[in-house]
Structure 1
Amino acid sequence: MNCRIRILSLFILVLSCKIVAAQSDTSIALAKAEYWYGGAVEYAYKTSFGHPTFQFNLYGDVSNNQSSPILISNQGRWFWSEEPFMYRLTRDSLTISQLHGKLFSGKSGDNLSTAQAYVARRFFPTRNILPDTLLITAPQYNLWIELLDYPTQEGVMNYAKLLLQHHYPPGVLMIDNRWESSHGTFEFDANTFPGPKEMMDSLHGMGFKVMLWTCPFISPDGKRYKELSSQKYLLLDNGADSKLSYEKAYAPLMIHWWDGVSACLDLTNPAAMNWLKDQLDRLQSKYGVDGFKFDAGDPYFYTSKNLLSYQQVSPNEHCRLWATVGLSYPLNEYRAMWKMGGTPLVQRLSDKNHSWHDLQMLIPNTLVQQLEGYTFTCPDMIGGGQAATFNDHTKVNQQLFVRSAQCHALLPMMQFSAAPWRVLDKEHQEAVKKAVDLRMHYMPKILAAIKEGASTGKPVVRSLEYAFPGNDYAEIKDQFMLGNDIMVAPVVTEGNYRKVIFPKGKWKYKNKIIKGGTVKSFVVALDELLIFEKL
């Protein structure tokens, strides 16, 4: 009997699914109070929680963050393609155009939860594998803002020692750009890291694991360039001759990016992919490196009309191939990503400015990351990832830094870069430490929610619209659910006051019981994060 029911359910779902040929535009009218989620994560804060006119082309994605060819409605409708497309949202309609592959559409249930469950199961099923859990169970420490483009062995060790002196728990330490003499050597610069193995051993002894920043670019004046070029392990340049074949091409393509002009590994070539993994494996075996921060790889780096590769693929597929490298390393992090929902890859939001506006992006963008199957999410760096503000500590808004730490506290991951002891006074440092302690207190629930997400594909953190459909919660983007029963309402605006929406039911706050179906106002102390337990 159960088998028959499952077959009937599958038959009904197949009947509700439509397939549109590539190149055909699709336009639908929005239903009353219908909202859409997905596409480019970077813009979720303004597209998924309101009705602005917005248009974005996923092909050659320039958003600097995760994206997927998925759109999901809070009324159960959905669209999916294996290839990128352009989407346009207005107050009244959704249009999908410039398709590069078949477009699938359908309806599963009548809310965001049922639609997400169906598309996740069908298009990006979870692998039920977690990344290294130290990324979750302790704060992460990224050395970017403190050391910038000048990391040294001495600087790394000093930062680690100061973390422990200020009573922060050891966790994952990320050595950012320029630990190599040039991009693609995959060897420590002996001038700045004279004893990398000894450094790794010392950090391990202090309780840290260590990640190295890496990218797919190869410096043309580096020692590996000539070797890789002769083996055709680099993307090639057709010299503006569209008829030139890959076999006859020989000149590597030069790509402009934020750190100069470089050649780029051709990861459509299995031999180049194997070469890259050999370099990463050697760093692990020779020095004890624990994992890697995989930066760059954005689709827009692969849009040149002159680009030739071993296999001709879309710019987005080049990005996805860069993402597959991380599957071999449980300790990983990405910022740019294409169509890798359901995998054990850590996804950080793009670098944010040190501003209240950008702080308000963290929750909505994380919520959409989760809907797209990016379970293991990190909300950028505490206080923002743009380094310029933190060069002069007098420009730091200390209240904003604290509220950012609190916003991170019960999200899947928490990452520092600017050193709190350098940019904060004693009162604000203590408030940040309290946020870290609060995370440690709730760690069993955070881990349980993450394990459930890895097992089922459900979001770890959920919007109120997802958790309590049919209550007109679609535009709420400053509070969230952790799993099924913890509601978190950080302060993300200047001041110490906020309103909290309570869905129906009973909610425990400190020693009080709050009856749901209401809105309450709170005065929130500097060191306080509002957390409510559903009874």
Structure 2
Amino acid sequence: MKYLFKILKDEHWWGGTADHGIRMPFDEKSEYSADFRLRAPNQTMPLFISDMGRYIWSEKPFKVDISGGEITMESEYEINMYEGGTTLRDAYLSAMKRYFPFSGKRVMDEFFSSPQFNTWIEFTYDQNQQGIIEYAESIIREGYTPGVIMIDEGWQKAYGDWTFDEKKFPDPKYMTDYLHSLGFKVMLWVVPMVCPDGKYYRKYKDDMSHFLRTEKGKPALVEWWNGVSCILDFTKKADNEFLYSQLDRLVADYGIDGFKLDGGTLQMYHKSNIVNGEDNFEKTPSDILNIKWNEFGEKYPYHEYKDTFKGGGKAVIQRIRDKQHSWDKEGLNTLIPNGIVLGLIGHPFICPDMIGGGDYLAFLPDRFSLDEELFVRMAECSALFPMMQFSKAPWSTLSEENNACVKNAADTRMKFKDYIIELVREAEVSGEPILRNMEYEFPHMGYAEIKDQFMLGNKFLIAPVTKKGHTQKEVILPEGKWKLYNGEVINGGKKLTLDAPLGRIIYLEKLF
């Protein structure tokens, strides 16, 4: 069934997937198409909201086409438009309270109180105990506050066999204890995949209570970024117990604090992604399979997801998907626009990707060309997001001068940590975005198209430089009095051009 909605004059829309935030807002002139039934990238919600207070909601993924001033949606399920008020904030709050209200459940302060560190770009698939210990020691030596450290892919024996590779990690208990003594919380990378030639495949291949199955009852083989694997089905009690038993053992035996739960996307679970069959045995919809995987990890207070359908309203740590080491090709240019959409679809607890970029292919020796200016500006852009995450060590990558600029960005964040945690506590109950676009906070002032500055709560305007070679920043300043980062008080209601050399983050405090 198709549903048609007319875009009003001067109306702007956001929604669907955060991964397409760079293309938003949509208006009468926009051309856009996406089919969330087949692919729901990064964080996706069956929700679109407008700055005229309207919103569109469905309980299931749908296909959307925007063209000729109309929004056309296609689905077997009901899709409705509602009047939630007259502003973007009205629309969001109305939709959120009706369909994905927040419970007040807390998220852990350590994600927000200091920068996170992830070992992926430092070691990629060669994660190892000695290297991780040295990496952690260098974090402390360089003057960073310890918080969360995530040990990424490559620590395990095999997909589905979540035990430490003893060749790389001869004494993981010692490592974890030592990282704890330095002040870190320790997380491990996990995916819902199982090697189709490993011991657990052999053990459970004929047991229908395990694995996603083809229509003929065979373990379904699905494609993902590392090849072809079996995949766990979390609608099945046995698969939940299988993975819980392994992860709980890591917590009990080694003191692991939590898990980075990667993959398990709607696309991975979709029947079109099964290489040895046409559908899954139970015909379970792929959105349900993804949702169940995402619910699985909520047991662990320290967790991270990046591939969720219908995850709005949950006390879940979310990361923007892997970004390129680029100014304008799926890199720095996407962080603020995608972050804005995350808040508008019910995900306030957000982390931009790893500083410098988290797509390891961009860092391979035969193709990597370090842009130190870009690295610094990514750090400055990330610093006043709800969370901030490093991987590539700036102290061993950058010049002394640029390393100092990155450290300044992290130090600036530390000045805001109490305010950020205050916003986190509020969002746990209110559901309001922590990172907000200008239109959300200052409706109908002509700010809908702004996506290179944002509000941190309702108090601070953040305006990082996001373009190569720029040492000044044009800031759109709403009416009222504002205090610049250096203490100068400025009258608003105008555009400002401010000096912004490397090492300076432009921010202004709204004086109420």
TM-score by length of 1: 0.91
The 3-state SS of whatever aligns with 2:161 is coil
- Contact kept in structure 1, 2:271 and 2:286, CA below 8 Å: no
Aligned partner letter, 1:36: W
- Contact kept in structure 1, 2:106 and 2:315, CA below 8 Å: yes
The 3-state SS of whatever aligns with 1:326 is helix
Find out whether 1:372 has 2:345 as its counterpart.
Answer: yes
| Structure 1 CA distance for aligned equivalents of residues 220 and 103 of structure 2 | 36
| Structure 2 CA distance for aligned equivalents of residues 91 and 362 of structure 1 | 28
Find out whether 1:108 has 2:84 as its counterpart.
Answer: yes
| Structure 1 CA distance for aligned equivalents of residues 507 and 67 of structure 2 | 35
The alpha-carbon distance between structure 1 residues 154 and 491, as it changes in their structure 2 partners (threshold 3 A), is same
Find out whether 1:130 has 2:106 as its counterpart.
Answer: yes
Aligned partner letter, 2:136: A
| Structure 2 CA distance for aligned equivalents of residues 280 and 48 of structure 1 | 41
Q: What's the CA shift string for 1:396-451, capped at 9, x where partnerless?
A: 11111111111111111000011101210000000000111110001111111121
Q: Which residue of 1 aligns with 2:198?
A: 222
Q: 5+ residue gaps in structure 2?
A: none
Deviation at 1:310, TM superposition (A): 6.8
| Structure 2 CA distance for aligned equivalents of residues 255 and 311 of structure 1 | 16
- Contact kept in structure 2, 1:268 and 1:310, CA below 8 Å: no
Listed as ranges, the matches of 1:105-504 within 5 Å are 105-232=81-208, 233-238=210-215, 244=216, 249=217, 251-304=218-271, 306=277, 309=280, 311-357=282-328, 358-392=331-365, 395-494=369-468, 495-504=470-479
| Structure 2 CA distance for aligned equivalents of residues 62 and 364 of structure 1 | 17
- Contact kept in structure 1, 2:306 and 2:318, CA below 8 Å: yes
Deviation at 1:95, TM superposition (A): 1.1
Q: 5+ residue gaps in structure 1?
A: 1-22, 239-243
Find out whether 1:96 has 2:70 as its counterpart.
Answer: no
- Contact kept in structure 1, 2:220 and 2:280, CA below 8 Å: no
- Contact kept in structure 1, 2:194 and 2:232, CA below 8 Å: yes
CA RMSD of aligned residues (A): 1.6
| Structure 1 CA distance for aligned equivalents of residues 144 and 248 of structure 2 | 30
| Structure 1 CA distance for aligned equivalents of residues 483 and 475 of structure 2 | 13
Q: What's the CA shift string for 1:106-140, capped at 9, x where partnerless?
A: 11111100010010111111121232211111111
Aligned partner letter, 2:149: L
The 3-state SS of whatever aligns with 2:264 is coil
Q: Which residue of 2 aligns with 1:56?
A: 34
Deviation at 1:511, TM superposition (A): 2.5
| Structure 2 CA distance for aligned equivalents of residues 307 and 159 of structure 1 | 46
Aligned partner letter, 1:121: K
Number of residues paired by the alignment?
500
Q: What's the CA shift string for 1:158-211, capped at 9, x where partnerless?
A: 111111121121111111112111101111111111111111111101111111
- Contact kept in structure 2, 1:59 and 1:86, CA below 8 Å: yes
Deviation at 1:31, TM superposition (A): 1.0
Aligned partner letter, 1:116: Y
- Contact kept in structure 1, 2:40 and 2:309, CA below 8 Å: no
| Structure 2 CA distance for aligned equivalents of residues 345 and 100 of structure 1 | 29
| Structure 2 CA distance for aligned equivalents of residues 307 and 188 of structure 1 | 35
| Structure 2 CA distance for aligned equivalents of residues 29 and 257 of structure 1 | 38
The 3-state SS of whatever aligns with 2:377 is helix
| Structure 2 CA distance for aligned equivalents of residues 309 and 270 of structure 1 | 17
Aligned partner letter, 2:31: T
Q: What's the CA shift string for 1:29-51, capped at 9, x where partnerless?
A: 21111111110110111132665
- Between 1:475-484 and 1:155-164, the stretch displaced more is 155-164
The 3-state SS of whatever aligns with 2:162 is coil
Deviation at 1:259, TM superposition (A): 1.1
The alpha-carbon distance between structure 1 residues 514 and 461, as it changes in their structure 2 partners (threshold 3 A), is same
Aligned partner letter, 1:497: Q
Deviation at 1:62, TM superposition (A): 5.0
Find out whether 1:47 has 2:2 as its counterpart.
Answer: no
Deviation at 1:308, TM superposition (A): 5.5
| Structure 2 CA distance for aligned equivalents of residues 531 and 295 of structure 1 | 33
The 3-state SS of whatever aligns with 2:205 is helix
Deviation at 1:394, TM superposition (A): 7.5
- Contact kept in structure 1, 2:24 and 2:337, CA below 8 Å: no
The 3-state SS of whatever aligns with 1:528 is coil
Aligned partner letter, 2:214: D
- Contact kept in structure 2, 1:367 and 1:463, CA below 8 Å: yes
- Contact kept in structure 1, 2:475 and 2:496, CA below 8 Å: yes
Aligned partner letter, 1:71: F
Equivalent residue in structure 2 for 1:76, among 32, 38, 53: 53
Aligned partner letter, 1:237: T
Aligned partner letter, 2:191: C
- Contact kept in structure 2, 1:268 and 1:309, CA below 8 Å: no
- Between 1:380-389 and 1:400-409, the stretch displaced more is 380-389
Deviation at 1:313, TM superposition (A): 2.2
Q: What's the CA shift string for 1:2-48, capped at 9, x where partnerless?
A: xxxxxxxxxxxxxxxxxxxxx2x111221111111110110111132
- Contact kept in structure 2, 1:403 and 1:491, CA below 8 Å: yes
Identity of aligned residues (%): 38
- Contact kept in structure 2, 1:266 and 1:309, CA below 8 Å: no
